[in-house]
Amino acid sequence: MVKSLPRRSEVPAEETWDLNSLFASDKEFNAALESLQQEVAGFQKQFKGNIQDAASVVEVLTSYLALLEKLVPISTYASLSLSTDQTDDEAQMRSSKFGSVSAKMSSQLSFVTSELLALPEETLKSAMEQSGEFEVYLKELIRRKPHQLHPEVEKTLAAYSSTFSAPYGLYNTTKMVDMAFDDFEVNDQSYPLSYVSFEGDWEAEPDAELRRTAFTAFSNKLKEYQHTTAKTYDMQLQTEKTTSDLRGYDTIFDYLLFNQEVDRSLYNRQIDLIMTELAPHMQKYAKLLQKAHGLDKMTFADLKISLDPSYEPEITVEESKKYINEALGIMGDDYLKMVERSYSERWIDFAQNTGKSTGAFCSSPYGNHPYILISWTGRMNEVFVLAHELGHAGHFYNANREQNLFNARPSLYFIEAPSTMNEMLVANHLLKNSDDPKFKRWVISSIVARTYYHNFVTHLLEAAYQRKVYERIDAGQSVNAGVLNIIKRGVLEEFWGDAVEITPGAELTWMRQPHYYMGLYPYTYSAGLTISTQVSKRILNEGQPAVDEWLEVLKAGGTKTPVELAQMAGVDITTEKPLRDTIAYIGELIDELVALTEEIEEVAK
């Protein structure tokens, strides 16, 4: 039974992460922030106007890198302490203080990029020869040169950075602080509702009446905030459009894809092929769910249910270790030591409490260990979620050790490949260990319903919706709640066809994800999973050599483009083949679910 969420202060400490490796106290945090402000002022005094030759380029970048390394734990502490309880006044004020101080420091430091780009290209190339440590950073800087503005403009824009990121903060405040859900009733019994309980429990509730009533109650509350949330989102969109125009990009898509280092054709391909070629497979899956549950009709509120809820194992945090260790053992001892430390040293926040951010994420501050946020409900599904976040952790655990801060982070296009790879390793491990048709069906349905549904459907439909929104913004228009509802409903109806009834409230799904405040992020989930699906097949077939190559990819961090990183792992994403193969593989899994269900039903007769 779903319970009301406790306050953060009521949660056992062992279920929370330990931020002491960042700062042991607020006093320590404030002292570090004050010290860094003084260092930034000294840095500006020392170097501004003095970057003139290759030697001074290397000198300024060495000092600049040291400053940024000191900024990382301060930024991370401010962000993570707020993410676990956004109702906490102290955490709110700390985050706001950091935002304003960070914007001031960014403005003071903006001269570095401006002065470097004012130098002849030959000088920058000479600096690369003198210090290979800065080669990737300087190459990227040269690539950015056509979009660089006057130094004073850059300084002013940097000073407004906290204002530009305000829509994301507003979104989270509306969602996690202001939006309070009432209990809902079914058959004269009252049930508690919250963002976390809806997305963690009620969406997957086997009882159709409970599940659908919860969906209606949840949607009704979202609807009350749709106009504020839409206005917040439009503010984000208009800021991005203005920035795109100011910097001279042809379209807002070119601006948002620039840092991802991928051609727009790769972005469009991911959306277009999945919308057309995956849709028939997923419609078949929806009809299978309807039949298995004996539903009168298949509605949007029914899409997250398990194929066989009676076979859904419950699992404790402690029990999850065994599955994670066995599944990820193929990655080697060093990787497993990281996994062990994540549990024993409290890198993971498992607690469920009011005000906590929804979903799950991994933060990997340079020079420290990763931190993972998850709200543990006890469903076996969470083993996949935890493996996913440990994939991010393992990626940056390796990259941060091998690369400097400038070089550690790869393109957003590639960022979800290591995370989804771990989900595939969990699935492959579970499939190997049983021939029981019911268990096999449960594992395959978990792969389809968790790994592929989440990344190839939920996030991809976000991406298809997002593309239509940006096309509108690029044409000089704006959006409001009515427009966003129409666009979202249209995308859902196009994908699900007549297999699923898009019931009232489904159109408000655009309100639920923070990804829209992170550029063209949603489509990268399917892009990453396309790569990891192909690499996981290689690991199954080839074993250790494929694993060793994958570990080298993780260590490479951001020193290569997404195309080059995929090539290192034996996948060519310049062609449609990996994506078509992955879609075909999902189709095969769904066909196998249909066959297993028929086999199980035949035995039961």
pLDDT digits (tens, 9 = 90+) for 51-61: 999 999 999 99
Whether the per-residue pLDDT at 605 is higher than 80: the answer is no
pLDDT over 70, % of the chain:
100
pLDDT digits (tens, 9 = 90+) for 234-257: 999 999 999 999 999 999 999 999
Query: 583 CB contacts (<8 Å, ≥6 apart)?
Result: 273, 274, 277, 278, 281
Cross-strand partners of 372: 348, 362
Provide the Cα torsion 534, 530, 385, 271; round to 10°.
-170
Whether the per-residue pLDDT at 1 is higher than 70: the answer is no
Q: What is the pTM of this model?
A: 0.89
Cross-strand partners of 185: 190
pLDDT digits (tens, 9 = 90+) for 257-301: 999 999 999 999 999 999 999 999 999 999 999 999 999 999 999
pLDDT value of residue 548: 96
pLDDT value of residue 2: 55
pLDDT band at 380 (very low <50, low <70, confident <90, very high): confident
Q: Which domains does the chain show, CATH number per domain?
A: 8-164 (1.20.140.70), 165-181+230-281+305-314+381-495+503-605 (1.10.1370.20)
Q: Which helix (H) or strand (E) holds 186?
A: strand 184-186
3-state secondary structure 58-115: HHHHHHHHHHHHHHHHHHHHHHHHHHCCCCCHHHHHHHHHHHHHHHHHHHHHCHHHHH
Q: Which helix (H) or strand (E) holds 174?
A: none
Q: What is the mean pLDDT of residues 224-241?
A: 97
pLDDT band at 497 (very low <50, low <70, confident <90, very high): very high
Average pLDDT, the chain: 94
pLDDT value of residue 357: 85
pLDDT value of residue 3: 64
Whether 488 contacts 510, CB under 8 Å: yes
